[in-house]
Structure 1
C-alpha cells in the first residue's frame, strides 16, 4: 500500500497545531530491519524472510508430527516462527485431529541451525487418542447447555444456534467437546462474551472463560498531554492512521456495543492535523491517547525484541474508543483483531480508559494470543493477565512521558479510589489479588491470580526493600522473608518475553512459567549466571518452587520443608502435590490441578492412566529418608474409576520401593470416592529409598487412578 503523508515541507518541520504535535516523518528505528538495535535472542526478520521461515515450518509439519509421536489423524498447522541469532528456530504449531481444532493442542518445536529437532514444549504431550468424532449430543443441545453453564455473564444467550465441535485436550485425557460463545451482561456492562466448553457426550461443563481479556478500571481525562502522532493525509484530509506502525487506525466507535465495536464506528478524519483538546469535550482526545499508547507499544516491542506488531507480521490492529455506554473496561479481542476502550462511567467522572499502561496491556494481550495463547482461565489465565501487566508497565517506562512516568502501579492514572488498579510490588494491597502462590490460585479470577506473576516480575526486576519509582512508593516484600537484589527490569522483561514466545504453551501454569523463565534466562545469560539464579530466587519469593544454588559462592539453597502430617512428620517432599511437580519425577503430565477430576485435598493430585489404550506411566520421588524408629508406613489416598467390569485385574497401579512391588491396585478396586491406603515400609527402616507409583493399562477400556496426599512417616 502506498503511504500518503503530508507535504515535504510539513514532513521536515513537523506540524505543531493546537494541543497535539503531529510528526509525519518516519522514525529511524522503523525504517528497515537493518536499523533495529542488536539484542540477545531473536533475529529481526523481513516480511520475506518470515514468510520463508513459516513455509519451512509448514513443509516440516508432517515429519515433525511423526518425530513427536503424534497420531495419523493429527496434523500440525504452523502459526509462528522465531529465529535466534545463531540460526536456531522455534516453530509454533496448532494441532488438528481429523480436521477438528484441538483446544490445548498447541506446541513449540525447537530446531538447531542445521534443522535438527532439539526439543519441544507441548500443551498436551503425546498423540491424541479419541475413539470417535461423532458427538452424542446435538449441536443445538450443546448451545442450550452452554447457556445454562455460563458463569461470567448473566441472562446468557448463545451467539449462534450451534456450537463448534472441537477436541478438548486441556485435561490429561482428550475429549470431544463443543465450544460455544454466549453473550450476556457482565461486570463491565452488557454484551460481554464468554466461551463455554461442554462435553459432546454428556453436556457437562469442561471450561468457561471471558473472551474479552480486559483491564476493568477507569481513565482520568486525557492522560498523555501534548504528544507527537503519526497520521495519514489523503487529499485535503487527515486520518488517525499510523502508517509507520502497521497502518494502525483509531476509530470513534460512536458508542457501538462492545460485542461489535465497529457497528457505528467512524475513522477519525478531519481537514486539519490538530487532534483533541485534552478533555472529554472533544471526542478526538481519547483517540490521541490511544494512538500514542499503541505507537509506543509497537515501538517497545520492535526496538526491544525485534517484534513487528501483534502477530509479528507488520500489520496493525484497529482500535476503537468511546465503546458502548458507561463501560468501565478496555479489552483486546482476537476474533476481530482489534482493541476497544470504554469511556468509564459516573463512578470515575466518565473519563476514558486510554492511559499508557492500559494501551500497552491490551496490545500485549494480542501478543500473547499470537504466541503462547495462554488459556484465559485457571493459572494460565493469571499468567495471561500478568503478561499484559508486565509489558504494559514496560511500555510506560519506555515511553518516558512526563505526564505518566514509569512505575509498577497498574492504572494509577485511572482515578481509582485506592490510587491504582493493581500494584506489582504488593499485589495483595488491593484486598483481592494474590501475591503468593497457593493451591487455590487456579480457581480465583484471573485478574487476581495475575498478582503472583506481577509480584515475581517486580522482585526479579527490583529485588526486595523500599524504593521510590516514578514518584511512587514501592516495597518489595516476599512470601519467604528472603532478601535479594533484582536483575533490572530490562533483563527481567527479556526473560519473560523469550519464555512467552519460545517455551510457554496454552496450558502453562505457574510451575511451568518458572521452568520456562529459567530456560529463557539460561539462553540469554548462561546456565550458571547470576541472572538465572536471581530469577529462581524471585519465584521462590512468591512460593513457586525453590531457589537454585548460588553460582557465586556454591552454597546450595535450603531444601524445601515438608509439611508435617502427624507426630512423625512426612519424609516426602510435597506429598499433597500442591507445589505441582516439586520433589516428584513424572513420565507424563500426571501431576495436575485439572478440574476434570477432583483432588482429595487442595487442588493438585496425580492423575494416572485413563487412556483406554495400552500405556504405562509413573510418578516417583527419590532419596526419601525412611524413619529409623517405629513402624514406618507409606499412606496415600486412592480413587479408582473404570470402564472395566468383573474382578480380573486388567489395568494396574503398583506401589514400588527401590523397584520392588509392595502393593498392587487395579480396576477391581474401583470406588466412588477416595480410599486411604497403607503400605508397610518397616523393611526399609533407616534407608534412603525411591518411592514410585507405576501404572499400566491394557488396550481396551479405561481405568483412572487418582493419587493424593501421600505421606511417609
Structure 2
C-alpha cells in the first residue's frame, strides 16, 4: 500500500552480556536484482498455487493475484500473491512464495484469512451465508472517498489523487489457544492468543493523501461498501565524491555529478532509474513537493551548522542536503555491502530525499507514493537529517517493497520497529567508516533521534522503551491498541537483547523479568548476525498481517535456516523474544564436553535394489553439527546429513562407509565414526514394500490414494512422485497403508521412510498429527511407531527408521494416518518407504 512513514509519534545500569562471535562469512545474504515475472510466468505461478486449492478446501471462487516480486536470499526470488475471492482481494490474506532460478517453488509463507468464504463457509462465524458472500457494493467508491474526506479534512486539498479499492475485509478477533483459557489477562503470553476471522465485510480501502496548508494529512480507511460506516482507519503518515560539511558527521565525502559546468547532488554510482535517474537530493524550499535537485558551482557543500532559517541554497541551506546525501549513501552501501540488497526495493531503483520540507517542520517521513523521503528543518528539534533518522525512514521503503506490514496494530509496531532497527544498523555502519561487508558491533547508540534533540533526550530507547514514559517493554494483549511508535518498543528491545544480550540485575536497564532460565543474563550474538536474521525474516517470510507471535516464529525459522536448528543463534532468538513475553524462555545449555559419536553406523546386508541406510549420532561440543559421509575413504557429494541412504546394487557389495561430525565451536572440532560395511546379497534380505517410492502411483497402496502424485507445491525425496497427506487446512483425515508379511525366519526387519513436514500453524500447541502404526488384518493397532505434528516441521526430508522384528511371522499393515483440525494446513509428505527383512 502507498504509505508515508514518519519518524515521530503524535507527541513528542550495568552493561549487558554479549558473546564474542566470529563475523558472518562475507557473502551476500540476498540475491541480485530480479526481473519481474512476465504475464505468462505470473500465470504459471498462479496456476501452481491454484492447483492446490482443492486440497485446501477452496472452491472456484478463490484465486491469487501476484502483487510484487523482489529478491530473496541468494539464488531465490520472492513473489507475493494476494488471495482473492470472486475477483476481489481478501485484505491481509496472502502467500509469500520462494522460488529458485528454475521457477520451482521452494517454500511458502501463508497468512490465510479466506477459509470462511465459499466451500469453507460452514466453519466460519457467519456460517453458510458466506458461501453466497455478496460482492456487489451498495455505495460507490467515489461516495466512500467523499465520506472519508468529510470526516478527516473537508477543507484540505488532494496531494495525490485518492483511491478506493473494493475488497473483502476480514474483521479479526483474538481468541485464546488451548491451554490458555484459564490464564489471567496479566499472565498471557503472545503465543497464548491467535487471530481468527470474526466476520467478513465488503468494503473499500480508501487512501487519501491530502495537504492542509503545509501540513500533510495522510489516512488509510476501510469503509463499508454496504452502509458507508468506517470499519477501520489508521494514519498513513509514518514519522520519522565531493566534500560536504555535515551538521552531524563533520567533513564527509559526498557522491555528486558534474555536468554543463555545475555540480548536482545526483549520485551516479548508486541505483538506477527512479524520478531523477539516480539517487538525488532536492530542495523542497519550505513546500510539500520535492522541488529541484541541488546544484552548486563548486563541489564543496554546506557549512556544517544548524539551518538558520535563511536561504535554502547558500552554504548554510546546503547543510541539510549534505546530511541527507551522506545518510542516503550509507543506507545504500550498508544494505548492498552487508546483505547484497540493492537500494530500497532490492532491484536497485533510485530514490531521493527532499530537504527543507515545510517551515520549521518537526518531522521526517517516507512517502511510498514517490518512494522518497522528506526532511524538516525542525523547531523543537534540530534538522531531522541525522544518520539514524535517514536510515529509519529509508527502512520504511524496504518494508513497503517487501512485507508491506500494515501500519496499524501489532503489524504497524513491527513496521516501525524495523525502521528503528535499520536506523541503528546504518548508524553503526557509517560511524565505522561506511565500508566492509559486516555490521560492526559499535558506533551506534541504540537510541533513535538523540542527535536531533535539543534536550539530549532521544525519541526512543531501543534497550528499554519504557524510558519514554509511553512505550511498553513487553508484549501484552492490549499492545495492538497503541500508536505504532509505542507498540514498536518490545520488538526494539528484542533486537537489542538478540544483538547485545541482557543483564541479570533487576535494577539494570537491560534486565527482563521474563528471562528465568540459565543464565539469567542472556548472551547476544552481535549486531551483524542479528540484523541478517531479522532482515531475512522481514523480506522473505513476513506477510502484511504478521503480528508479534508470527514474527517470533518466522525470525526463529530464519535463524535456523541461516545458522542451524539448535544453534546458539536460534536459541538467542527464542530467549530475546521470551524477554518481551513472546514465547517461553529456554536454557542456553550445550550438551557439554567435547563432541563425540554417541551412536555408530551399523554394518548391514541388503538385497540388490534394496535400501541401504546408515545413521550416526553425536553429542557434546557446540551444536549445530555438520556431517560428511565417506565411501571407501572418499567424501560422498551431497551426503551431509546425520543419515545417508541409497538404493544398493550388486557392485556396492563390500563398500565401507563412515561419517565425520564437526561441531560449531571456534575452532571447530571434528570426530569420525567407526566403519560400517555394506553387504549386497540376493539370499539374505528382501524388500517387502511394493512401490515404496510411489513412482507406480497407487500400486500396492490402499486408503486415500489420491494423495499420491507429483502435485505442485511439494517436492519428492527422489524420483518424481510422493504421498502428500494433510495440507488441507480444514478438518480432515487421510490414510495410506500397505499389507506386508514379515518372514518368521527373519533376523531383522527395518522400516524406513523419508518424511517432510511443513505447516501454517504457529506456536507449540499440537493441532495436526501424522501417526505411523502397525495394524493387523482386522485394522486393530498392534503398535504406534511414531506421532509427528505441526510443532516439528522440517525444511527438508528426514529419514525415519524403525525395528519391526517384533512382528516377524505376521501379516501386518504399515499405516500412515494424517489428521487436521478446522484451520491452517500441515502437510506430511512421505516418500521412499522401505521394509527390509533379513
Query: Where on the TM-score scale, by shorter chain, does this alignment land: which range?
Result: 0.5 to 0.7
Alignment of 1:501-580 (within 5 A): 501-548=539-586, 550=588, 552-553=590-591
1:112 deviates by 6.1
User: Is contact 1:358-1:392 (8 Å) kept?
Assistant: yes
1:445 deviates by 0.2
Between Structure 1 and Structure 2, the one with more helix by share is 1
User: Is contact 2:280-2:353 (8 Å) kept?
Assistant: yes
CA distance in 2: counterparts of 1:162 and 1:484, whole angstroms: 48
CA distance in 2: counterparts of 1:426 and 1:174, whole angstroms: 39
- In structure 2, the CA distance between the partners of 1:100 and 1:254, relative to structure 1 (3 Å rule), is farther
Counterpart secondary structure, 2:66: strand
- In structure 2, the CA distance between the partners of 1:621 and 1:426, relative to structure 1 (3 Å rule), is closer
User: Is contact 1:140-1:161 (8 Å) kept?
Assistant: no
- In structure 2, the CA distance between the partners of 1:154 and 1:552, relative to structure 1 (3 Å rule), is farther
- One of 225, 229, 234 as aligned partner of 2:259: 234
1:157 deviates by 7.5
Which segment is superposed worse, 160-169 or 335-344?
A: 160-169
Which segment is superposed worse, 413-422 or 536-545?
A: 413-422
- In structure 2, the CA distance between the partners of 1:64 and 1:548, relative to structure 1 (3 Å rule), is farther
1:433 deviates by 1.0
- One of 213, 222, 241 as aligned partner of 1:197: 222
Q: Relative CO higher for 1 or 2, CA cutoff 8 Å, sep ≥ 6? A: 2
Corresponding residue number in structure 1 for 2:137: 135
Q: Could you say which structure has the larger radius of gyration?
A: 2
CA distance in 2: counterparts of 1:451 and 1:125, whole angstroms: 27
Corresponding residue number in structure 2 for 1:331: 365
- In structure 2, the CA distance between the partners of 1:156 and 1:511, relative to structure 1 (3 Å rule), is farther
Q: Does 1:433 align with 2:456?
A: no
1:201 deviates by 1.2
Counterpart secondary structure, 1:312: coil
Alignment of 1:77-92 (within 5 A): 77-85=66-74, 87=75, 89-92=77-80
1:126 deviates by 4.7
- In structure 2, the CA distance between the partners of 1:170 and 1:399, relative to structure 1 (3 Å rule), is farther
- In structure 2, the CA distance between the partners of 1:52 and 1:379, relative to structure 1 (3 Å rule), is closer
Corresponding residue number in structure 2 for 1:658: none
Q: Does 1:245 align with 2:270?
A: yes
1:223 deviates by 1.4
Corresponding residue number in structure 2 for 1:384: 415
Corresponding residue number in structure 2 for 1:209: 234
- One of 250, 254, 260 as aligned partner of 1:225: 250
1:183 deviates by 5.5
Alignment of 1:209-608 (within 5 A): 209-215=234-240, 222-246=247-271, 247-257=278-288, 261-262=289-290, 265-279=291-305, 280-281=307-308, 282-345=316-379, 347-348=380-381, 351-400=382-431, 405-417=443-455, 419-465=457-503, 475-481=509-515, 482-548=520-586, 550=588, 552-553=590-591
CA distance in 1: counterparts of 2:114 and 2:207, whole angstroms: 29
Counterpart secondary structure, 1:106: strand
CA distance in 2: counterparts of 1:275 and 1:484, whole angstroms: 46
Equivalenced residues, count = 513
Deviations 1:133-178 (A, max 9, x none): 321123343234324664xx79778776873323334742543211
User: Is contact 1:155-1:185 (8 Å) kept?
Assistant: no
User: Is contact 2:145-2:163 (8 Å) kept?
Assistant: yes
User: Is contact 1:123-1:507 (8 Å) kept?
Assistant: yes
CA distance in 2: counterparts of 1:410 and 1:154, whole angstroms: 35
TM-score (norm 2): 0.56
CA distance in 1: counterparts of 2:162 and 2:766, whole angstroms: 53
Counterpart secondary structure, 2:356: strand
- In structure 2, the CA distance between the partners of 1:116 and 1:399, relative to structure 1 (3 Å rule), is same
User: Is contact 1:499-1:520 (8 Å) kept?
Assistant: yes
User: Is contact 1:435-1:455 (8 Å) kept?
Assistant: yes
- In structure 2, the CA distance between the partners of 1:536 and 1:362, relative to structure 1 (3 Å rule), is same
Corresponding residue number in structure 2 for 1:121: 109
1:552 deviates by 1.2
CA distance in 1: counterparts of 2:269 and 2:525, whole angstroms: 33
User: Is contact 2:417-2:488 (8 Å) kept?
Assistant: yes
CA distance in 2: counterparts of 1:386 and 1:228, whole angstroms: 30
1:125 deviates by 4.5
RMSD across aligned positions (CA): 3.8
1:337 deviates by 1.3
CA distance in 1: counterparts of 2:548 and 2:476, whole angstroms: 10
- In structure 2, the CA distance between the partners of 1:399 and 1:55, relative to structure 1 (3 Å rule), is farther
- In structure 2, the CA distance between the partners of 1:401 and 1:107, relative to structure 1 (3 Å rule), is same
- In structure 2, the CA distance between the partners of 1:243 and 1:119, relative to structure 1 (3 Å rule), is same
Counterpart secondary structure, 1:359: helix
User: Is contact 2:494-2:576 (8 Å) kept?
Assistant: yes
The runs of 5 or more residues in structure 2 that have no matched partner are 1-23, 119-129, 173-196, 272-277, 309-315, 435-441, 593-618, 620-726, 732-760, 768-818, 824-838
Corresponding residue number in structure 2 for 1:76: 65
CA distance in 2: counterparts of 1:300 and 1:394, whole angstroms: 8
1:419 deviates by 1.9
1:111 deviates by 4.0
- In structure 2, the CA distance between the partners of 1:143 and 1:56, relative to structure 1 (3 Å rule), is closer
Corresponding residue number in structure 1 for 2:47: 62
CA distance in 2: counterparts of 1:695 and 1:148, whole angstroms: 43
User: Is contact 1:376-1:384 (8 Å) kept?
Assistant: yes
Corresponding residue number in structure 2 for 1:165: 166
Deviations 1:362-384 (A, max 9, x none): 11000000110000000000000
The runs of 5 or more residues in structure 1 that have no matched partner are 1-35, 468-472, 556-585, 591-616, 624-691, 697-713
CA distance in 2: counterparts of 1:334 and 1:534, whole angstroms: 34
